[in-house]
């Protein structure tokens, strides 16, 4: 019990400490691929510390909701990220680590963020919120289809059970799994506001989505929101890692050595995920906002195809 | 069915081919479409080579080579040149949008599954699914030809349809090499004929939009 609690605590700490490093890695890699020097790896930490020290400037029309929301969304995302099995699956709360619950946590965080964008009443916040909700309304069905596919294969929606099942290699290569992986990557790109959907590094009015919503935030609120989006990126890479590359995850009753191996494997997975993301973002151009439905529709279609394949090949 | 890696990989490659067919439907730029077509042929070559390996059938390696050299290199390069020569590399022409086309494609895949799995009830489950995938690729190629107005994209649809045929033929054991070679060459000849026609259409009507032909025949939309 104590041991599980300690592991759970270690995971909570690890995700929040590693998240800015991952973002730093992606930024550095992108800069290097463009043959620029790039900021140092620890720059996101420095940014967070600087923002926390700064004074909060509130807009005139801001309600109490506006001040509370950064804490709400940070808490929701942090809880979701601590439930995903990263280096070990024997966590205290792994019984509640249901994939649908994690989606719900992220969905409510997004709902509050969209409210915050609308709260001050500026046009940018409104445009950001409306676009974010449009993207979400397309990404969530796709995500649920992916969950159905995976749950049908693994026989559970609980992440630790699914990871354990995938790690046995019993299933072999399945076309549905490949389709689900592709769809999950597309959804992850959309959810994290990465390049073909949204550019995290721009403040150009016509294109920004996430940045438009949080334009009115400053100081420690902005620090929390930045940390939240970094955590979300880490969460998605962890989910992909634990479902499709479940190697090295320590079991429920693992000894410290296995946990250490699991941790190193997790770091390697994060690094690989970050590098792939950076390479992908460098190679591709941002698409127009009106193309986003087609992109996410394709993700939904892949998820649907995966489920269909499972059903049809199972029943006939 | 489980744990058999050789069949799993064959299955995976066939599934990838269906996926690449969907990518073709999704792309509406001609250059990107050509690249995806080359990828399609590449996946086909890999799939055929894998079949040659697991069936221990050396003549299939030849089929894979044909797919690799002709379809993944020569035809895309030739089409690339045609596009450059015609100056149509920036044109986007679809009859229906990407979304409806994808939905139609889904329906076709479902149809292929249902039909194929019913018909081949007593065959080996993986072979059945492979055949269903091959039929899906054929149907998606047809869909591609129907939903595009640009003659070059229609040619690409035709070529990917033929890829589906080859996939079906190699998945089921025992298609003679002579048939395969003749299919490959007939497609090549069809390609050449279509190429010539493209230039003729272009010369006469200043466009490769096949709607121009309808207009010329006096049909009204």
- Give the pLDDT confidence of B118-164 residue by residue, as tens digits: 887 777 766 777 788 889 999 999 998 888 877 778 888 888 888 88
Quick one: what percent of chain B has pLDDT higher than 70? Answer: 86
| Residues on chain A touching B99 (C-beta within 8 angstroms) | 293-294, 297
Phi-psi region for residue B87, left (φ > 0), alpha (ψ -120 to 50) or beta?
A: left
Instruction: Please check whether residue A305 touches B, CB under 8 A.
Output: yes
Closest-CA residue of chain A to B109: A305
- For residue A171, give how far its alpha carbon lies from the nearest alpha carbon of chain B (Å): 6
Hey, are the CB atoms on A175 and B99 less than 8 Å from each other? no
Once rounded to an integer, what is the mean pLDDT over residues A134-152?
A: 91
Closest-CA residue of chain A to B129: A313
What are phi and psi for residue B150, nearest 5 degrees? -80, 130
Q: Which of B186, B206, B160, B194 is nearest to B33 (CA)?
A: B160
Residue B32's Cα: distance from chain center in Å? 15
pLDDT tens-digit map of B184-216: 777 777 777 777 777 777 777 777 677 777 777
What pLDDT sits at residue B57? 78
Checking if the pLDDT of A235 tops 90, the result is yes
Checking if the pLDDT of A192 tops 50, the result is yes
| Residues on chain A touching B15 (C-beta within 8 angstroms) | 175, 178-179
Residue B107 makes CB contacts below 8 A (sequence gap 6+) with: none
pLDDT tens-digit map of A19-33: 999 999 999 999 999
Least confident piece of the model among A100-104, A178-182, A238-242, B54-58: B54-58
Please report which confidence band the pLDDT of residue A269 belongs to, taking 50, 70 and 90 as the band edges.
Answer: very high
What are phi and psi for residue A124, nearest 5 degrees? -65, -45
Among the ranges A167-171, B73-77, B177-181, which has the highest mean pLDDT value? B73-77
What are the residues of chain B with a beta carbon less than 8 Å away from any beta carbon of chain A? Answer: 2-5, 8-9, 11-12, 14-16, 19, 22, 26, 97-99, 102-103, 106, 109-110, 113-114, 117-118, 121, 125, 129
Tokens representing residue B173 in the block: 């054991």
What pLDDT sits at residue A40? 93
| Residues on chain B touching A302 (C-beta within 8 angstroms) | 19, 22
Q: Which of B139, B148, B144, B88 is nearest to B111 (CA)?
A: B139
Q: Which stretches of chain B are assigned E, i.e. beta strand?
A: none
What pLDDT sits at residue B3? 46
What are phi and psi for residue A287, nearest 5 degrees? -95, 160
Least confident piece of the model among A140-149, A275-284, B87-96: B87-96
Instruction: Please check whether residue A312 touches B, CB under 8 A.
Output: yes
- For residue A54, give how far its alpha carbon lies from the nearest alpha carbon of chain B (Å): 47
Residue A56 makes CB contacts below 8 A (sequence gap 6+) with: A218, A219, A220, A221
Average pLDDT, chain B: 80
Checking if the pLDDT of A39 tops 70, the result is yes
Testing the interface with A: which of B15, B17, B104, B143 to mutate, by most A Cβ within 10 A? B15
Rg (CA), chain B: 18
Quick one: what percent of chain B has pLDDT higher than 90? Answer: 10
| Residues on chain B touching A297 (C-beta within 8 angstroms) | 98-99, 102
Tokens representing residue B33 in the block: 């479409």
Average pLDDT, chain A: 88
Domains identified in chain B, total number: 1
| Residues on chain A touching B109 (C-beta within 8 angstroms) | 305, 308
Hey, are the CB atoms on A297 and B102 less than 8 Å from each other? yes
Instruction: Please check whether residue A287 touches B, CB under 8 A.
Output: no
Instruction: Supply the angle between the helices A2-33 and A43-53 in degrees, to the nearest 10.
Output: 110
Least confident piece of the model among A112-121, B31-40, B78-87: B78-87
Hey, are the CB atoms on B106 and A175 less than 8 Å from each other? no
Instruction: Please check whether residue A288 touches B, CB under 8 A.
Output: no
Quick one: what percent of chain A has pLDDT higher than 90? Answer: 46
Least confident piece of the model among A66-75, A198-207, A229-238: A198-207
Hey, are the CB atoms on A173 and B11 less than 8 Å from each other? yes
What pLDDT sits at residue A85? 86
Closest-CA residue of chain A to B5: A172
Checking if the pLDDT of A197 tops 90, the result is no
Q: A231 or B221, which is more confident?
A: A231
* CA–CA dist A72, A4 (Å, integer): 26
Least confident piece of the model among A243-257, B42-56, B76-90, B205-219: B205-219
What pLDDT sits at residue B2? 43
Instruction: Please check whether residue A170 touches B, CB under 8 A.
Output: yes
Tokens representing residue B161 in the block: 């349809």
Instruction: Give the pTM.
Output: 0.85
Testing the interface with A: which of B20, B109, B167 to mutate, by most A Cβ within 10 A? B109
Q: A20 or B61, which is more confident?
A: A20
- For residue B127, give how far its alpha carbon lies from the nearest alpha carbon of chain A (Å): 12
Checking if the pLDDT of B220 tops 70, the result is no
What pLDDT sits at residue B172? 66
Checking if the pLDDT of A204 tops 90, the result is no
pLDDT tens-digit map of A153-167: 888 888 888 888 888
| Residues on chain B touching A174 (C-beta within 8 angstroms) | 8, 11-12
What are phi and psi for residue A89, nearest 5 degrees? -100, -5
Size of interface A-B (CB pairs under 8 A): 66
The residue range of the domain holding B110 is 5-217
Once rounded to an integer, what is the mean pLDDT over residues B104-127?
A: 80
What pLDDT sits at residue A96? 79
| Residues on chain A touching B129 (C-beta within 8 angstroms) | 175, 313
Q: Which of B75, B88, B5 is nearest to B40 (CA)?
A: B75
ipTM surpassing 0.85 = no
Quick one: what percent of chain A has pLDDT higher than 70? Answer: 97
* CA–CA dist A105, A85 (Å, integer): 16
Please report which confidence band the pLDDT of residue B92 belongs to, taking 50, 70 and 90 as the band edges.
Answer: low
Closest-CA residue of chain B to A298: B102
| Residues on chain A touching B98 (C-beta within 8 angstroms) | 294, 297
Among the ranges A139-153, A165-179, B73-87, B207-221, which has the highest mean pLDDT value? A139-153
Please report which confidence band the pLDDT of residue B1 belongs to, taking 50, 70 and 90 as the band edges.
Answer: very low
């Amino acid at each position: 019990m104590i041991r599980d609690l300690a592991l759970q605590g270690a995971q909570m700490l690890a995700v929040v400490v590693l998240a800015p490093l991952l973002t730093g890695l992606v930024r550095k890699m992108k800069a290097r691929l463009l043959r620029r020097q790039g900021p140092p790896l620890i720059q996101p930490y420095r940014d967070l510390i600087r923002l926390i020290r700064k004074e909060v400037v509130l807009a005139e029309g801001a309600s109490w909701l506006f001040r509370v929301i950064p804490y709400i969304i940070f808490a929701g995302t942090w809880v979701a990220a601590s439930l995903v099995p990263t280096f070990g699956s024997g966590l205290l709360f792994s019984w509640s680590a249901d994939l649908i619950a994690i989606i719900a946590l992220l969905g409510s965080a997004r709902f509050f963020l969209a409210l915050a964008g609308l709260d001050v009443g500026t046009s940018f916040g409104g445009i950001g919120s409306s676009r974010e909700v449009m993207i979400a309304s397309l990404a969530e069905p796709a995500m649920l289809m992916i969950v159905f596919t995976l749950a049908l294969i693994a026989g559970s929606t609980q992440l630790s059970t699914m990871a354990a099942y995938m790690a046995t290699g019993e299933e072999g290569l399945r076309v549905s799994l490949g389709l689900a992986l592709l769809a999950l990557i597309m959804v992850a790109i959309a959810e994290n506001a990465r390049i073909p959907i949204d550019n995290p590094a721009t403040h150009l009015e016509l294109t920004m989505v996430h940045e438009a919503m949080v334009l009115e935030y400053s100081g420690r609120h902005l620090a929390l929101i930045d940390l939240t989006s970094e955590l979300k990126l880490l969460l998605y890479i962890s989910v992909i890692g634990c479902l499709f590359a479940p190697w090295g995850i320590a079991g429920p009753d693992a000894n410290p050595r296995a946990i250490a191996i699991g941790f190193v494997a997790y770091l390697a997975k994060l690094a690989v995920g970050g590098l792939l993301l950076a390479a992908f973002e460098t190679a591709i151009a941002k698409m127009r906002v009106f193309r986003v439905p087609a992109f996410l529709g394709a993700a939904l279609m892949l998820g649907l195809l995966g489920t269909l394949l499972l059903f049809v090949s199972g029943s006939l | 069915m489980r744990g058999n890696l050789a069949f799993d990989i064959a299955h995976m490659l066939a599934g990838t081919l269906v996926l690449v067919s969907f990518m073709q439907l999704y792309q509406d730029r001609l250059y990107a479409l050509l690249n995806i077509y080359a990828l399609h042929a590449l996946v086909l070559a890999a799939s055929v080579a894998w079949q040659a390996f697991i069936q221990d059938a050396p003549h299939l390696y030849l089929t894979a080579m044909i797919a690799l050299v002709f379809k993944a290199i020569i035809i895309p390069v030739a089409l690339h040149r045609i596009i450059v020569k015609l100056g149509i590399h920036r044109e986007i022409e679809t009859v229906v949008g990407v979304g409806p086309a994808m939905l139609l494609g889904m329906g076709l895949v479902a149809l292929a599954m249902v039909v194929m799995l019913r018909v081949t009830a007593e065959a080996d489950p993986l072979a059945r699914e492979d055949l269903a995938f091959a039929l899906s690729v054929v149907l998606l190629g047809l869909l591609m030809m129907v939903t595009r107005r640009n003659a070059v994209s229609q040619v690409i649809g035709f070529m990917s349809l033929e890829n589906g045929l080859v996939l079906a033929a190699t998945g089921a054991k025992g298609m003679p090499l002579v048939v395969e070679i003749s299919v490959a060459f007939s497609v090549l000849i069809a390609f050449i004929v279509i190429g010539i026609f493209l230039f003729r259409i272009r010369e006469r009507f200043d466009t490769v939009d096949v709607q121009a032909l309808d207009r010329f025949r006096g049909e009204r939309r």
